[in-house]
Structure 1
Amino acid sequence: MTQLTQINAQELQKNLFDSYEQFQEKAITKRRFGHATLVNLLEKLKSNPLFDVQIAEKSTEGRAIYQVKVGNGPIKVLLWSQMHGNEATATMALMDIFNFLGKDTPAYSDFKKTLLERCTFYVVPMLNPDGAEAWSRYTALGIDMNRDALALQTPEGRLLKKLVKTLKPDFGFNLHDKDRRYSAGQTGNLATMSFLATAYNEAQEVNDVRKKAMQVIVQMNRGLQQYLPNCVGKWPSDFEPRAFGDNIQKWGTSLILIESGGFKNDPEKQYIRKLNYISILSALNAVATKSYVNETTETYDALPVNEKAIFDLIIRNVTIQKGKVSYVADIAINRGEEPVSGDDDFVNTSTVEEIGDMSVFFGTDEIDGKGLTIQAKKEISLGMKADFTLLKNDEVKYVIKNGVIQ
């Protein structure tokens, strides 16, 4: 069996990155989209004989949960996204991957042949369609299905357990989003993407099953460093006995968790979607060619663990007036989103999160407020909306509107 070298694996990611727009699913342009959009795309996919598209289960509220099968090789790979309904970045990337596999592109014919002859892929995009429709982490029962691996109280959880037990996949990919403000270690670098080979016991031991997941992650990270230098993290590996990822690793499938975080000026996560696309395809290449076997777990261990070290905006050393008291402090601000009921959209929000010494934290955006005075319609306080101006000698230097520098 021909194995790609590390250099060729990186070249593959670069080629995938450069040609991405050919395969990007144009029907999805923002991360909040409904179940109907997904259904339309998957129903169209049925016209391509390469794909076997089936309804695998119905959700609590009766929505179809689809499974897509592609390939006919001996290595079985199970991928699922949106077990948390409001985590849609990887679902977008999976639609792009379907386009990649389904299009006749001579430049990638050998690569696709390798994937589809050596692997069989089982994909469940939008495992929690009720949560996706409500833009909620939880299922319609109010249960976090990623804590339902033992009790199996949800139809979505029962489906995932059934797929793992009947298919017995060699590899699994558990695709998530996380808070965009996680950092790669205690740094100011956003952990735009993070990985984890989930623990299968409290001792966090490494057996052959978990080791393979670590080795694949090493290859994924190496390629991503071209586009995210020092911005790839590792999710904390604490064992959670109710979680699917931890149990699936215990049940014998090499489980890779992918968490999509934040990237500056990418609110709809379209750049992160692209990075998911190249990362997942490069991982599938590593699985198909077994090029991961020479990787060391030490490289995996060296990945920085996710920390909460970043705010959206920090104004440092600004003068604040509180009644008759004037003092100098830092102000940390976070921006948020409130979903619009009945619409695939958000209302932007902002909050003053901290006032004081923020010297051990970082801002995605920062302002040096030394010599500046903050002015607002009411006194600055925790929890208030971030609307104010920064003055120097009564002259406006900065305008902050809803937490954004104007």
Structure 2
Amino acid sequence: MEHSLEISLHQNFKEAQLAGRYLPIEVLESLVINLPSVFEVRELGKSVEGRNIYTVKVGSGKTKILVWSQMHGNESTTTKAVFDFFNFLANAEEAKEILDHTTFLVIPYLNPDGIKAYTRENANVIDLNRDARDLSQPESILFKQVYEGFQPEYAFNLHDQRTIYGTKNYNKTSSLSFLAPAYNSDREINKNREEAMQIIALMNQKLSKYIPEQIGRYDDGFNLNCVGDTLQSLNIPTILFEAGHFPEDYDREETRKLIFMALYHSVKGIMGETQYNFSIEDYYLIPEIEKSFVDVVLRNLAIGNKIVDVAVLYQEKLVGNRIEFLPFIEKIETNISLFGHREIDFTHKKIENAVADFKVGNLLNSVKTETEIFSLKLTNY
């Protein structure tokens, strides 16, 4: 019963104007400036190319949570979930209790230029998540102004991760990953980092019933120029949320739902202080993520006089207002150990493609046999 109630909770508040992988910046801005009056919307400043960056404040509680999304412009899943969460806070019956307890300050998107171009970096080709100390970019300076002014008790750093990640020892895709970032190079655990770990352990318990063995723990290598590491070093319990791949969900609508539920359970846990029921050990029981997947594996291809496997990774290309996933050959080997989100076995099938088609780095839209054409390209995302 609890499962169905949580799923319907998201369906009731899913923002209908947002879907797929590419979110037009014009649509996002319209949604922000037209939020209901319960939200305090403020123009924070401008991006490199002069686009508006906003903060959205809601709630009157003593517990202050800072949330930001899409500091990487091509990582849109969590932004969809943020607007779903806005709808929940504005309309759900239980939201009043949350807002009486909590004050949220949200940057729905930090990198509008990257969103427009569908690039990880900003318009100056700088990764904003490697600029926390250098502060070379206007977006990074604005972000620092926000956390210094707001003085949050918790910080939620929302991202997407690539399809290549799986959960170690389980051979399953990592649909969600979390991290309590390190605050120093020795990756020691202090009170603030421990609390972030406890909240993650809580989310893992709540969400594992939907995606067993598909929640991973992100690498905690220390880099003070990363925003999460900087905030953790300032004694703010900080959590990295990574929206990953769910089977046959390249538009990441299933993962969107999971991020919404992660936000919901983390906030409810903080409000009820139930994160303290979990330990550091519970956090470390979450499996590490590892690079164990590619998008497609073509097994047992007869190419020339060899039988090989071919690993394919999609490159995302913005075409108009949609994303095309272009299949490029990543690796050609005998018995590739990586898993494919899609696997096709060509045992005893005669391949009609030219041998020259099968080279690392080549675009491979399809594989032809005597009887079938296997298309590898994805569209309409």
Q: Quick check: 1:333–1:403 contact (8 Å CA) kept in 2?
A: no
Partners of 2:70 and 2:362 in 1: CA distance: 32
The CA deviation at 1:181 is: 2.1
Corresponding residue for 2:318?
339
Q: Does the alignment pair 1:68 with 2:56?
A: yes
CA distance in 1, matches of 2:240, 2:318: 26
CA separation of 1:389/1:76 partners in 2, compared to 1, >3 Å: closer, same or farther?
closer
Aligned equivalent of 2:158: 175
Q: Please say if 1:87 is aligned against 2:75.
A: yes
Q: Give 5+ residue unaligned stretches, structure 2.
A: none
1:264 paired residue number: 247
Verify the 8 A CA contact 1:377 1:388 in the aligned structure 2. Answer: no
Q: Alpha-carbon deviation of 1:308?
A: 1.0
Cα separation, partners in 2 of 1:388 and 1:199, compared to 1, 3 Å: same
Q: Is 1:250 matched up with 2:233?
A: yes
What is aligned with 1:383? 361
- Residue 316 in 1 paired to residue 299 in 2? yes
Identify the range of structure 1 (30-39 vs 69-78) with the bigger mean alpha-carbon deviation: 30-39
CA distance in 2 between counterparts of 1:266 and 1:228 reads: 14
Matches within 5 A, 1:341-356: 343-356=320-333
Q: How far apart, in 2, do the equivalents of 1:168 and 1:179 lie? A: 31
Q: Is the 8 A contact 1:372 1:390 kept in 2?
A: no
State the alpha-carbon separation in 2 of the partners of residues 402 and 65 from structure 1: 38
* Contact 2:332–2:360 under 8 Å retained in 1: yes
Letter in 1 for 2:72: H
> 2:337 is matched by which residue type in structure 1?
V
Q: Secondary structure at the match of 1:273?
A: helix
Q: SS of 2:351's equivalent?
A: strand
Q: Is 1:400–2:374 an aligned residue pair?
A: yes
- 1:210 Cα offset (Å): 0.4
What is the CA–CA distance in structure 1 between the aligned matches of 2:107 and 2:377, rounded to whole Å?
A: 37
Which stretch of structure 1 is more off in the superposition, 180-189 or 31-40?
180-189
Q: Secondary structure at the match of 1:21?
A: helix
CA distance in structure 2 between the aligned counterparts of 1:143 and 1:337, rounded to whole angstroms: 19
Following the alignment from structure 1 to structure 2, what is the Cα–Cα distance between the partners of residues 260 and 401? Answer: 27
8 Å CA contact 1:385–1:403 kept in 2: the answer is no
Query: Equivalents in 1 of 2:4, 2:271: separation in Å?
Result: 19
* Contact 1:149 1:157 (C-alpha < 8 Å) held by counterparts: yes
Picking from 198, 217, 230, the partner of 1:215 is 198
1-structure distance, mates of 2:377, 2:354: 15
Q: What amino acid sits opposite 1:20 in the alignment?
A: H
Is the Cα–Cα contact under 8 Å of residues 331 and 358 in structure 1 kept in the other structure?
Answer: no
Quick check: 2:177–2:243 contact (8 Å CA) kept in 1?
yes
Aligned: 1:100 with 2:88: yes
SS at match of 2:185: coil
Code of the residue aligned with 2:330 in structure 1: it is: E
Which structure has the larger Rg over C-alpha atoms?
Answer: 1
Aligned mate of 1:373, from 343, 350, 355: 350
Following TM superposition, by how much is the alpha carbon of 1:36 offset from its aligned partner in structure 2, in angstroms? Answer: 1.3
Partners of 1:24 and 1:279 in 2: how far apart? 15
Q: Answer yes or no: is 1:53 the counterpart of 2:41.
A: yes
Counterpart in 1 of 2:209?
226
Within 2, Cα distance between the matches of 1:166 and 1:14?
40
> Can you list the C-alpha shifts for 1:222-246, whole angstroms capped at 9, x where unaligned?
1111221111111100001211100
Q: Describe the shift of the 1:301–1:243 C-alpha distance in structure 2 as closer, same or farther (beyond 3 A).
A: same
In structure 1, C-alpha distance between the alignment counterparts of 2:229 and 2:50, rounded to whole Å: 28
Give the letter aligned to residue 363 of structure 1: G
CA contact (8 A) 1:332 1:358 kept: no
**How many percent identity over aligned positions?**
34
* Matched position secondary structure for 2:261: helix
Q: Partners of 2:49 and 2:344 in 1: how far apart?
A: 47
Q: 1:311, CA displacement in angstroms? A: 1.4
The answer on whether the counterparts of 1:315 and 1:369 sit within 8 Å (CA) in structure 2 is yes
For the structure 1 residues 287 and 389, does the alpha-carbon distance in structure 2 shift closer, same or farther, using more than 3 Å as the test? same
**Distance 1:403-1:346 versus aligned 2 partners, 3 A rule:** closer
Please state whether the residue corresponding to 2:331 is helix, strand or coil. strand
Q: Distance in 2 between matches of 1:33 and 1:389?
A: 32
Residue-by-residue CA offset, 1:164-214 (whole Å, 9 max, x unaligned): 222111100000011122111255311111000000101111101001110
Question: What RMSD in Å do the two structures reach over aligned CA positions?
Answer: 1.8
CA distance in 2, matches of 1:166, 1:36: 28
Tell me how far apart the structure 2 counterparts of residues 243 and 361 of structure 1 sit (CA, whole Å).
29
C-alpha change, 1:213 and 1:14, in structure 2 (3 Å) is farther
**TM-score, normalised via structure 2 length:** 0.94
Counterpart Cα distance in 2 of 1:23 and 1:335 = 31
- Pick closer, same or farther for the CA change 1:23–1:373 going to 2, 3 Å: same
- What is the CA deviation profile of residues 75-107 of structure 1, one whole-angstrom value per residue up to 9, with x for unaligned ones? 11000001111111111111111111111x4xx
**Count of aligned residue pairs for this structure pair:** 377
Structure 2 letter corresponding to 1:150: R
1:354-389 per-position Cα deviation (integer Å, ceiling 9, x unaligned): 111344211111123333332204433222232454
Q: Deviations over 1:301-328 (max 9, x none)?
A: 121212111111212223221xxxx121
Q: Which residue of 2 aligns with 1:278?
A: 261
Q: Which residue of 2 aligns with 1:131?
A: 114
Tell me the residue number matched to 1:37.
27
